[in-house]
Structure formats: structure tokens, C-alpha cells
Structure 1
Amino acid sequence: MEHSQSEMNILSNGKSYDLVDDVGVSMKTPLEDDQFDDPDGGLENEEFLPSADGKKPVHFTDFEGKTSFGMSVFNLGNAIMGSGILGLAYAMANTGILLFLFLLTAVAALSSYSIHLLLKSSGIVGIRAYEQLGFRAFGIPGKMAAGIAITLQNIGAMSSYLYIVKSELPLVIQAFLKADPNADLWYLNGNYLVIMVSASIILPLALMKQLGYLGYTSGFSLSCMVFFLTAVIYKKFQILCPFEEFSANSTEVHHSLNVSILSEDHSLAHQDDSHCTPHMFTINSQTAYTIPILAFAFVCHPEVLPIYTELRNPTKKKMQKVSNISIFVMYTMYFLAALFGYLTFYDKVEPELLHTYSRIDPYDTLILCVRVAVLTAVTLTVPIVLFPVRRAIQQMLFPTKSFSWLRHTIIALVLLTIINMLVIFAPNILGIFGIIGATSAPCLIFIFPAVFYIRIVPNDKEPMNSTPKILAACFAALGVSFMIMSLSFIINDWTTGSSNGGGGH
């Protein structure tokens, strides 16, 4: 397959190649045949693109990788963690504990395998940009397809985060100020608040040149989600089933939850408390949505290669370890949040877990603090997700241009403006981003890593009938099936007029 000379020139003798990186610097590195079989590095050496003079190599970016292992774990973990954690208890209620655990484990393992394919493909050709892998595999169409999928997926994710800001921040301010919910106050207007948050917090972080610096905000964001998980576990032992829902007509607005639940009210004895029994396996009309919810909750693949680029002394083995640790930590948090949320409300749990707590006591101080923590987490996640979108746009529109602060800033401003307009003016974007999620997420997780691997790995090293390529082909087929299934659910949801509030990433 022929490629543009400006992008790369790979010599077929397997001994050396020239590459032009993002800033137009040509580099050459030896490729020995026996390196391909190196289980730890593929075609990478310990110091990716080593130089002959012994100096620290120039990485495939406009700066040297400076991010530590721990910060890289924070960054990738924060990229995985999203608003989808709020919907996992609802997913468990519609699958049962054991079926949910099986599906969660399967999706986490598949995500790790997908990252393995990306890293191996990256190591073979010395490319650390998702879009450039697409170019190496399929030329300009592959590059554009990857760039568009990344852009759509992450714009959808950022919009979902800012929707949480728009809907939850006014409630938090209202609770703190004891404001009249019917008052027409500008600081209770979600549209104004989302613009203020975008301009004062998100934009300055998004203007940073290096993703690695956001490791500090990533760590704080993850700590907020740990607080959310801790509160969910604590509330399981405070809220007893069957529970009484908060009544808006009650004269005692701040009535203690414990008094309400623990009072000797024998009228509850006749209630059917069958919903207080956990189910191991459940199949109903909502079960089919669980796989999309779980898959979207593990979308982090556009961020893998940028984080790999900025990792200090990067190797494929080291980055795979970063990925595995991040996925395992998120896997554990996801399961615990889903389990204790489900065991608190059972089949009464709502698609967004925090709303369910509000049915018990909307003035609960702990849950109010949790809302603040979740708002903080999603706000600090937006800059992390914006980085690969900006990189994708630069790869598609300015592939040979050197770094420019002006272009760097303008792209961030335009992206945040578009996302804010979507959040403010779109009457209902759930269907739009449902389509985006059902198409771009399977491409980024399943289809692209597999087909890129199949195309990039030389057939003389791994023929098409080899086990790794057969597995990759099956992985791509799984992604296609997932895409068709997700689109079918959404179209059926539209045609039947039913509504699903399930989670997303």
C-alpha cells in the first residue's frame, strides 16, 4: 500500500525506516527482525527511538515525555471514569449481580486487550497517535475515520459532563443558599453557570500544553469519585428497606431520615418487601442496554496513545501496565458503586443513582457533598477529554504544522463554544449522542484497534491464519455486532416511544 512521502517512508528491507513526526522532524531508527518477537517491546527498544550518540531520544511529539508512571495512571483512570458510574446500579438492577459481574469483567478484559492491540501496532511502526495509525493502515481514509470517531465520541462525552453541571450545580447552590426554587435568580440558571464553569475552570486547564500536568487535577477528580463510592457504601447501611420516600407535602421538611426509617411504624408490615431481595440473574426489556452502558464506561482509547507519548521513558510493557492498573481500579470502583447502590434501592433504583437518594431526603447533607464531588470530578475530566479531540483536529487539518499557541488556543475555544451551545440550546441531545455513542465507541474500542493491527503487522511475521490475527478479526466482528445491536436498540427506543435514561460514559 502506498503512502504519502511527507507522512512516512518505510523501507521494505526491514532494517531501517524514516519517519516524519508531528513537527516535521525526520528520524531514523534501526529495525532488527528479531525485535519483532520481543514480548516486551515489539519493535520498540527500552528508550523508544534511541539515538546513536547516547542522548535521550526525541519522542513523537513536540516535547519529551515527562509524566511519571503514577500520574499516567491518574490521567488514564480519569479518562476512563465518567458519568456512567451513576448508571451502573441501574444496570445491575436489570441484569442481576452475577450477570452484571460477568459482563463488567468481560468488557474490562476486552478493553485491556484492545489497548494491547493499539500499543503493539504503535510499537511496530513507531507511531503514537491514533489518527496516524489509521493513516498507516488505510491511508487518508483511515486517518480521517479515526479522527472523526474520536471527535464525535469525546464531544458527546464532554457534553454529557457539562449537562451534569447544568442540571446539578443550580440544585447545589440552591441548597447551600436556602434559595427559593421558584425565584428567577441568575445564579440558579444552569445556562449561565455552565458558561461560567467553562470559562473559569475548564478553559485554563485545557490551554495547558502538556497533558501530564493534568495528572494533579486527575488525582483530585478520582478522589472525588472515591468519596462518592464511600458515601454509596455508607448509605447502604443507613437506608433500610423498605424505605419511605420523601413527601413534598410534609410539614417537617428536615425530618430525620433515621427517625423516619427506624420508627416503629407497623403499617409497613403489610407492604410487599419482595423488592428488597437481591437477584443474581435478571432478564427484562432493559437488560439489553447494560452492554452499551458498560462499554461506554470503559472508553479511554483515544487518550491511551497521547498518555503513552508523554510517559517518562516509555515502553510498550510500561504503558500496558499503566492501562491494566487503571482499568482494574475503575473496574473495582464500578462494581462496588453498582453493588452497594443496587443493594440500597434494589429494583427501585433510578437510571441516575443520585436522583434516587433525593427521593428519600433531598436535603441530606452527605448526598449534597457527594453532588459537589461529582460536579468537581466531571468538571476536571473535561480538559482530559478535550486533549485527544484537539489532537485529532490537528492531525486531520494541520498534520505537518509545528506547535502554535494561537492554534492551540483557538481550537480549545471553538470546541468549548460548540459544546456549550449544544448543552444550552439543544432541546434533547440524548438521541443524537446515543447514535454517536453507538457508532464511535465500538469503532474506537473494538473495530479500529483490530483492523489497524491486522493491516500494520506484516504478513510475513504474522500471517492472516495466525492466532493473533484471527483473534483480532474476531474482535473486530464483535465490535460490528455491538454497533448493530446498539443502533437497533436506539431505533427501537425511538419507534416505540419509550425512554431510557441509562448511563453513558
Structure 2
Amino acid sequence: MSINGNINTDLYSECAAGDRAGSETTPLLTNGSVQTRAKGASFASSVFNLINAIMGSGILGLAYAMASTGIVGFCILLIVVSTLAAYSIHLLLTLCDQTGINSYEDLGGRALQKPGKVMVGIAILIQNIGAMSSYLFILKSELPAAIDSFLSTDSTGNAWYEDGRLLLILVTLCVVLPLSILPKIGFLGYTSSIAFFFMLYFAVVIVVKKWSIPCPLPHNVTTLSGTFQISNSSDSECTPKLFVISSKSAYAIPTMAFSFLCHTAILPIYCELDRPTKSRMQNVTNVSIGLSFLLYLISAVFGYLTFYAHVNSELLLGYDTYMPRDIMVMTVRLAILLSVLLTVPLIHFPARKAVILLLFGGRPFSWLIHIIATLGILGVVLLMAIFVPDIRNVFGVVGSTTSSCLLFVFPGIFYLKISNRSLRSFDSIGALLLVVFGLIMGLISFSIIVITWVQDS
């Protein structure tokens, strides 16, 4: 699975400048000095790495976002968010070339001194915790269904292995914790190389299964846990909505922001790119965001056209109701679960590093601090995954706060503070609009989400 922009931050310390083709780049700094390096990553390899950083658990929530905004409304919002994501990356790359800084946190420090660096560190930490929570939530909801799908149909629904919370605790203690507690887990990065193919397979399954579930949806459907009742299902529900405005629409943009956030991975990938120029890296960004956009759009459209108003906020759960033992659904579920399981420790590493840097500064490595930070972060993430009732809440809150800041607000503010361009220049005006858009949409979305919680309670 994608780590949604939370690439191992050790890459920052490994970035060094080599032979820089073109005149539009400035050597990147490594511990205050410029060093040479071996031949970097190819264009295709960089595109693949960035796609892995972009695509993640957000793909499971986009069909729900489409049901909440309508097809046309969703497409407009997806185009706007993906375009602004590419533009904010353009601003970061521009600052990277102007300053030679290769870390998102250090850009915050350059723009706003120590408070800026702390704000970026906290935002990345919260974003990582939100991403890990969303992945563990997927494990909690999908693992019992995956086990049930391989068992006999006379399952009572009361077995211990059908309790998602218990399974989540066991998997966290037996798999996630041992992998997360390692001081260096760079080898897990190799497992992400198959993430794109998992996502591609996911999109193919969603498209194929569109024609396997009838519409209108059956009123009574026998599932593994009994009979599932759907009320008010009619032919009118098989007509896709072009525009929808409701309180649920507030989850759309945060979910999209969560899905396109890859900004903390941009500078490390830029450092490793062969013949790294700003225009070459921008092309890598545009291709990666374009391919991710297509997979996101295809999955959302066909997921929505399968379930319409009854689409689940975690898309795969909807298929359990109508085809609980379908081979393709079972295999795509296993693929995603495997990706999720191996990605959580990878996301945990930069989160732990951010905590240690924020609380203990530049202290030498200590196993005691390392273990305490690991257990503390995993404990918070596990509690969130267990007690959060709906994955859309994770997407909504994290997307409207830290994702909006990292995607829109911070790049714009940093550009306005650091760049020597005139305030009337195109990029300065664009940076200002980016900040305004991020603040307005984040505040509106978060406010509506909170109001919805209060009303529902």
C-alpha cells in the first residue's frame, strides 16, 4: 500500500547532489555540505516510487465520496485537488532549488524558524498516525471477512476469529510490533514495489464486478452473519446522481487530500533522481499524479455505479453482502491486507523519528527511548483503529487538518516567505490562492464533520 507521502525520512540524510544537468537546479545540502553520488534512479523508477507514495487506503473511500457529491461534482473536485497537488509540488521544488534544502521540516524552519519546523513535524506525525489508523481499520474490518470467506457457510458468526478487534490486537502484537521496533526497516520498502499492481488489480476487480451485482439491489440478501435488509431499494436508485450536496459531501475533499498527499516523499525522490532538474522532477510528478488520478477515478466511478446510494465508506465491505465467497473479491482483499500489514511498520518509522526529534532533539540513539516511542505510537494508533466506528472519520478529520496543511497551506506559506519573487508574480499569487483554498476548505469540512458528529450523537 501507499504510505501517503510518509516515506522513510532517513532518505533526507542520504540526499546529496551529483552532476546536475541544466541550470535550473541548486545542489542539495547534506549536513551542510555538498557531496557527490552514484548514478541516480531512472525516470520510470522515480514515477513508480512516487505512485507508491501517492496511492493508499484513500482509494477505498473515494466511491463513498462520489456518492456524497455526485459524478460530475466528484470529477470536478478530483481534478481541482490533483491539479493543486501538482502545483504545490511545483512550489516545493522551486524552493528546493532556491535554497538547496532537501527536507520538508527544514523548509518550515527556513520559512518560520523553529515554530515552522515544529509545526511541520507535528503535521507529519498526525498524518502518519492517521494513515496507520486507516490501515489498521482496514485490517479490523477486512480480516474477519477474509477468514470467513475461506470457511464453511455454516459459520455461526460468534467465533473468536470473527471479532475484528481481537484479530487486530493479535496481528498488531505478533506482526506489526516486531517489525516496527526494528531500528532500521528499510527492507520493507521493497514490498511496496508490488503496491501499484495490487491497486491496478483492485481497479480491475471493481470494474468487472460492476456487472455481477444487479440493480436495484435485492431487498433481502443472505450473508455470512444472517439476513441483510435493505429498505427503499428501487429502480430510481439505479440512476446515477450528477450533483449531490449534503452533510456527507464534507468528507469528499478531505478524503481526496488524504489520497493525493505525497509531499514529504517528493524531495527524497528528487534527490535520488538521475540527472535531477526541476522540470524533470515535475514531469515525474505529473505522470505519477496522472496515473493515480486514473486509477482513483476508475475505482470510484465503478464502485459507485455498483452500489449507488448504498456504497460503503470502505468499498470492499459492500461486496461481502452480495458475493461473500467470490474468488476475485477474496484475492483482492488478501492482496490489500498483505500490503496494509507490511506498510504500517514502514509508516511507523518516520512517525517515531518525528516524535523523538520533537521530544528529545538530537540525542544519541537510545533503546529505551526507541521502545517507549514505538509502544506509545502503536498504542495510540491501535486505540483509534479499535474505537473509531467509521473509516470516513479518519479520512475526514486527518484530511481536513494535516493533509490540507501539508498539501495546500504549508507549500504556499513557505513559498511566500522564502521566495524572492515579486508578490505580483504568477507563482506568488498562486501560492496565496493555495493557502486561502486550503484554509477555507479545511475549516469548512472540519466544521461540518464536527457538527454532523454532534447531531448524530
TM-score bracket relative to the smaller structure: 0.7 to 0.9
2:202 and 2:332 in contact (8 A); partners too: yes
CA distance in 2, matches of 1:401, 1:464: 41
Match of 1:97 in 2: 71
Counterpart AA for 1:465: R
Distance 1:204 1:312 in 2: 35
Which residue number corresponds to residue 117 of structure 1? 91
> Is the contact made by 1:114 and 1:446 (CA closer than 8 Å) also made in structure 2?
yes
TM-aligned CA distance change 1:428 to 1:234, over 3 Å? closer
Q: Deviations over 1:435-481 (max 9, x none)?
A: 444221111111111111111113xxx12232211211111111110
Distance verdict in 2 for CA 1:483–1:279, change over 3 Å: closer
Who is 2:447 aligned against?
A: 488
Q: What is the TM-score with the length of structure 2 in the denominator? A: 0.82
Q: Tell me by how many angstroms 1:432 deviates.
A: 7.6
> 1:486, CA displacement in angstroms?
1.5
Deviations 1:142-174 (A, max 9, x none): 010110011011101101111111221122123
1:164 paired with 2:138, answer: yes
Normalization by structure 1: what TM-score?
A: 0.75
Q: What is the one-letter code of the residue matched to 2:36?
A: K
Could you report, residue by residue, the CA deviation over 1:316-344 in whole angstroms, capped at 9, with x for unpaired residues? 33433332222111100010001111222
What's the offset of the Cα at 1:111? Answer: 0.5
Report if the CA contact (8 A) 2:254-2:403 is conserved.
no
In structure 1, the partner of 2:155 is: 180
1:86: Cα distance to partner? 1.7
Aligned partner of residue 422 in structure 2, secondary structure: coil
Contact 2:255/2:399 (CA < 8 Å) preserved in 1?
no
Inter-partner Cα distance in structure 2 for 1:327 and 1:66: 21
Aligned with 2:381: secondary structure?
helix
Aligned equivalents of 1:165, 1:300: Cα separation in 2: 23
Change (3 A) 1:304 1:93: same
**Which is richer in helix?**
2
1:392-440 C-alpha deviation (Å, 9 max, x unpaired): 3354346546778987776555433442344346788976874444221
Q: Which residue of 2 aligns with 1:226?
A: 200
Match of residue 348 from structure 1: 310
Number of the residue aligned with 2:103: 129
Which residue in 2 is equivalent to 1:453?
415
1:157 is paired with a residue whose SS is helix
What RMSD in Å do the two structures reach over aligned CA positions? Answer: 3.8
The reply to whether residue 290 of structure 1 matches residue 261 of structure 2 is no
Question: Offset at 1:233?
Answer: 0.6
1:286-309 deviation line (CA, Å, top 9, x unaligned): 334322222222122223233334
1:358 equivalent in structure 2: 320
Mark the structure with the bigger radius of gyration.
Answer: 1
Q: Deviations over 1:254-287 (max 9, x none)?
A: xxxxxxxxxxxxxxxxx84122222333334433
Give the distance between the partners of 1:423 and 1:154, measured in 2 at CA: 13
Query: 1:368–1:347: structure 2 CA closer, same or farther, 3 Å change rule?
Result: same
Query: Structure 1 305/414 Cα, relative in aligned 2: closer, same or farther at 3 Å?
Result: farther
Q: In structure 2, do the counterparts of structure 1 residues 87 and 282 end up closer, same or farther at CA, with 3 Å as the change threshold?
A: same
Does the 8 Å CA contact 1:23/1:400 hold for their aligned counterparts?
A: no
Look up the equivalent residue of 2:291 and give its one-letter code: V
**Structure 2: how far apart are the matches of 1:90 and 1:357?**
14
Q: What is the SS of the residue equivalent to 2:298?
A: helix
Identity of matched residues, %: 44
Distance in 2 of aligned mates of 1:121 and 1:247: 56
Q: 1:102 to 1:175 in 2, by over 3 A?
A: same
Structure 1: state its 5+ residue gaps. Answer: 1-20, 30-34, 58-63, 254-270, 499-505
Q: Provide closer, same or farther for how the CA distance between residues 188 and 205 of structure 1 changes in structure 2, counting only shifts above 3 A.
A: same
Which residue in 2 is equivalent to 1:82?
Answer: 56
Assess, with a 3 A threshold, how the Cα gap between structure 1 residues 168 and 456 changes in structure 2: closer, same or farther: same
Written as runs of structure 1 = structure 2, the 5 A alignment for 1:194-205 is: 194-198=168-172, 201-202=175-176
Equivalent residues in 2 for 1:351-500, closer than 5 Å: 351-397=313-359, 400=362, 411-412=373-374, 414-424=376-386, 434-458=396-420, 462-497=421-456
Question: How many Å separate the matches in 2 of 1:477 and 1:454?
Answer: 13
Equivalent pairs, count: 437
1:152 aligns with 2:126: yes
Say if 1:69 and 1:322, in contact at 8 Å, map to a contact too: yes
CA 1:209–1:311: 2 relative to 1, 3 Å: farther
Tell me: CA distance 1:385–1:411, structure 2 relative to 1, closer, same or farther (3 Å). same
**Residue 239 of structure 2 corresponds to residue 277 of structure 1:** yes
* CA spacing shift, 1:23–1:485, aligned 2, 3 Å: closer
Shift in alpha-carbon separation, 1:398–1:113, aligned structure 2, 3 A: farther
**2:118 corresponds to which letter in structure 1?**
M
| Farther-moved stretch of structure 1 (271-280 vs 448-457) | 271-280
* Matched letter for residue 115 of structure 2: P
Separation in structure 1 between the aligned mates of residue 17 and residue 59 of structure 2, nearest angstrom: 44
Amino acid of the structure 1 residue aligned with 2:425: S
Indicate the SS of the match to 1:283.
Answer: coil
Distance 1:387 1:320, change over 3 A: farther
In the alignment, what sits opposite 2:36? Answer: 56
How big is each residue's C-alpha offset from its partner over 1:41-66, in whole Å with a ceiling of 9 and x where there is no partner? 64425xx469xxx9725xxxxxx896
Mark the CA change 1:330 to 1:208 in structure 2 (over 3 Å): closer, same or farther: farther
8 Å contact from structure 2 (residues 25, 277) kept in 1: no
The one-letter amino acid paired with 2:433 is C
Give the Cα separation in 1 of the matches to 2:282 and 2:74.
26
- Partners of 1:445 and 1:97 in 2: CA distance: 24
**Conserved 8 A contact 1:390-1:411:** yes
Q: SS in structure 2 opposite 1:291?
A: helix
Q: Which amino acid aligns with 2:358?
A: M
Give the distance between the partners of 1:381 and 1:182, measured in 2 at CA. 29
- 1:116 deviates by 1.2
Partners of 1:484 and 1:376 lie apart in 2 by 35
Go from structure 1 to structure 2 and tell me whether the alpha carbon gap of 1:78 and 1:289 turns closer, same or farther (over 3 Å shift): same
- Looking at structure 1, the residues matched to 223 and 379 of structure 2 have their Cα atoms a distance apart, in angstroms, of 41
Q: 2:26 aligns with which of 32, 44, 54?
A: 44
